[in-house]
Amino acid sequence: MNVAAQSRQPPADVEVLAFDVFGTVVDWHGSIVREMAQLHPQVDGDAIALAWRAGYKPAMARVMSGELGWTRIDDLHRLILDAILPEHGLAHLDEAQRQHLNRVWHRLDPWPDVLAGLERLKKRFILCTLSNGNLGLLTRMAKRAGLPWDCVLSAEVFRAYKPDPAAYLGFAQVFDLPPRRVMLVAAHHDDLAGARACGLRTAYIERPLEFGAAHPKEVSPRPENDLHCRDFAELADRLGC
């Protein structure tokens, strides 16, 4: 735990924890690399994982700009996948193989601290996803991994991807709470900044290996977040669970 984080008191009136999922709860990079090593061992799984994820924000931007109509992340993932397969030596994959591979996002594994941390947090807070991933994806991921959500919410419900304010404000409205009684838990500063601008509390989670061990992420504290935690165990500690 760092000094900057310790200097803030955890908020006492938070009722709901909203969780970013990809990168914060689950290790998308490691999970995709592991699955690629089994399915297609001849290709560079690290490069495919990074290229796939790099296509994510540009694809959502096409939706939010109106260039594409509302599109679920499953379908955006597929658009990106079809675009990157040729350059990674997988242009020959047939439709069934592509469908199966695209569903790897339903099969992502949680970080090692997640399940125990969520079980502690669940005793005191409502735990709910707030992810750009679609509801079906998030539900199947949770069922496979044992993520004990009290509710599954998504950009799909609000028809707006984070960091659009409609996602954060719509989330607070679902629970009939002022935004300050919701805390977003995320490993990404742009997401936390979007939440903070809407009045939500914020907890940053360090995930230095989000992009793989070869590409460590800078995770130093920023004073604008209410909490800065190494992992979900520290989050539970800080929130008195």
d(CA 160, CA 75): 15
Smaller CB distance to a copy of itself: residue 6 or 173? Answer: 173
Question: Please, what is the minimum distance in Å from the beta carbon of residue 157 to a copy of itself?
Answer: 5
Question: Please, what is the minimum distance in Å from the beta carbon of residue 41 to a copy of itself?
Answer: 29
Question: Please, what is the minimum distance in Å from the beta carbon of residue 63 to a copy of itself?
Answer: 17
Binding site for a copy of itself (CB under 8 A): 74, 126, 128, 134-136, 138-140, 142-143, 150-153, 156-157, 174-176
Question: Please, what is the minimum distance in Å from the beta carbon of residue 152 to a copy of itself?
Answer: 5
Smaller CB distance to a copy of itself: residue 107 or 140? Answer: 140
Cα 59 to Cα 25, 55, 70, 76, distances in angstroms: 22, 6, 11, 6
Smaller CB distance to a copy of itself: residue 43 or 151? Answer: 151
How many CB atoms sit inside 10 A of residue 151's CB? Answer: 14
> What b/e string do you get for 50-78 counting C-beta neighbours within 10 Å, with b at 16 or more?
bbbbebbeebbeebeeeeeeebbbbebbb
Question: Please, what is the minimum distance in Å from the beta carbon of residue 122 to a copy of itself?
Answer: 8
Smaller CB distance to a copy of itself: residue 74 or 109? Answer: 74
Q: What is the CA radius of gyration of the chain?
A: 18
Smaller CB distance to a copy of itself: residue 168 or 204? Answer: 168
- What backbone torsions phi and psi does residue 112 show, to the nearest 5 degrees? -60, -25
